[in-house]
Amino acid sequence: MIELSILLDRMSLNERAVIDETKDYLRISHLAFGAAQQIARVIDVESWQDVRVEDAADSLLRVDALFGADQGALIGPLSVVLQKPQGQENIVALITMAGLRQWLETESDARICRVASLERSFRSWTTNFVPWDAELIPPTDAPFEFCNPRRTVQSFGPSRSITESVGRWLVLSAGPGAEESSAFAEWRSVATAKLLPTLASEVLGTPDQLVFGSSRRVRTTISDTSFSHEHYLGVARLSQWIYEDPRAVDTKHTLASDEIARQLSQGASRDAVLSAVERSMDAAKRAYAFVLQEINRDALAALSDLRALVTEEITRISTLTTQLATAVATALGIGVSLVAARVIFDSSPLLIFALMVVVVAYVTTVAKLGADQIVLSEKARGAWRDHLYKFVATSEYNRLVDEPAEMAAKSFRRMRWLGVGVVLFTFFVVSGFALPDDVVDRVAQLIQVTSIGS
């Protein structure tokens, strides 16, 4: 298979063949008769599910026809079509450099890629690239996922012109000498071309038309896609720094893009853009550190305001609890006074009953208003959490805000139920003294019947 790979890559380089390779088949077309014979001599028919030859008249022939007596009847140019054996779903096997280039342009989710022209293994964050005869070791899952650049970079063309996965184009590990192979160089060029648009603020139409910067916008066109290893390292480092943290991706991307634009002029060349990318890393990091200082300063001020708000809320709930306790104590005192007035001075029963109804209504209103204010406070805390205090971890926010406020609210709720119970008991006791005896007897009988029925 290695011999076939070398032959096909040489033919493609010398424009003696056009290669179309996918996971399922390999098609070599535009072949002269002698080139088709060369390919046929190195093909191991047993290694392929199906091998056939096509001529310009769309005649399907076996490989033996290239060496048979009727070979003069073939009409050129010829095509050789090789159907690959059915492999595993997450493994792709590529014979040619053209096939590797074509596969890299797709959004395949294969985890292992066997490449005939690869000499040493290397691994990106999503895929293991291994030589043809190497042992297939299942890749381990990456410790985290990078952010999707399509959500950060504006695209005025097809959204798929921007890569969805930065990790696919970042080297996680490489064997000694892997960078020297032609297959790695091909992957590196495609990876650099895929990562460059992720650094731009806008992509116009195609991935080679880039706009850097937000306030000062610089348009460039990257037409040459042959990149060195140093070019790749500069682009890869900056792209990894931007997209590794989902909370800071927008800030980092804006700072990096603005710094690149600051160093460029309109219509800058490819080399100028790559040099600006390499130099902008340190400047963007310093700018981000300054932003973090400002954010920390604002965060401290916001936390100070949050502490004041929590303290104010707890004080307000404590005041409500105190008001409710005072109302209950007042109601209890009034109830005792009304009973004494009924017994000693024989006051009007209807007047005593009416005063007690007013007392119960007052205590109930105080309890209801307090409960409503607590509900409003809980909704307000939810709004603060979602809009003003996202930078505070959920566990810390619960410990600093929700738990203290909930403890104060529980104290009010206990007082509410205890107070309402005491006031209702007082109401029934006073009503027993205030209402006529026959009314009390009827109420007692009604309570007794209801108890027996239940």
For 19-33, write each residue's pLDDT tens digit.
Answer: 898 888 888 888 887
Percentage of the chain exceeding pLDDT 90? 4
Question: Angle, to 10 degrees, between the axis of helix 182-199 and the axis of helix 270-344?
Answer: 50
For residue 55, give both structure tokens: 């001529």
Tell me the sheet residues that pair with 93: 114
- Count of CB atoms situated within 10 Å of the CB of 366: 20
pLDDT score of 447: 47
* Pairwise pLDDT comparison (69 vs 54), residue with the higher score: 54
pLDDT score of 442: 58
For 337-355, write each residue's pLDDT tens digit.
Answer: 887 777 777 777 777 778 8
For residue 134, give both structure tokens: 């190497």
Q: Given pLDDT bands bounded at 50, 70 and 90, which one contains residue 238?
A: very high
- Count of CB atoms situated within 10 Å of the CB of 348: 12
pLDDT score of 237: 93
* Domains delineated in the chain: 2-83 (3.30.70), 118-268 (no CATH), 294-453 (no CATH)
Torsions phi, psi of 5, nearest 5? Answer: -60, -45
* Pairwise pLDDT comparison (165 vs 306), residue with the higher score: 165
Mean pLDDT to the nearest integer, 36-56? 78
Percentage of the chain exceeding pLDDT 70? 85
For 125-138, write each residue's pLDDT tens digit.
Answer: 888 898 888 877 77
Sheet holding 154-155, edge to edge: 154-155, 202-203, 209-212, 218-221
Alpha helices by DSSP H, listed for 266-348, are 270-344
pLDDT score of 454: 41
Q: Given pLDDT bands bounded at 50, 70 and 90, which one contains residue 266?
A: confident
Mean pLDDT to the nearest integer, 117-129? 87
As a whole number of angstroms, the distance between CA 252 and CA 395 comes to: 26
Residue 254 clears pLDDT 50, i.e. is over it:
yes
pLDDT score of 437: 56
For residue 333, give both structure tokens: 């005192």
- Count of CB atoms situated within 10 Å of the CB of 90: 13
Give Cβ neighbours of residue 376 (< 8 Å, ≥ 6 apart): none
Mean pLDDT to the nearest integer, 373-401? 77
CB 198 within 8 A of CB 157: no
For 185-229, write each residue's pLDDT tens digit.
Answer: 889 999 999 999 999 888 887 777 888 888 888 888 887 778 888
Q: Given pLDDT bands bounded at 50, 70 and 90, which one contains residue 54?
A: confident
**Average model confidence (pLDDT) across the chain:** 81
pLDDT score of 69: 44
Mean pLDDT to the nearest integer, 352-370? 85
Q: Given pLDDT bands bounded at 50, 70 and 90, which one contains residue 391?
A: low
pLDDT score of 239: 93
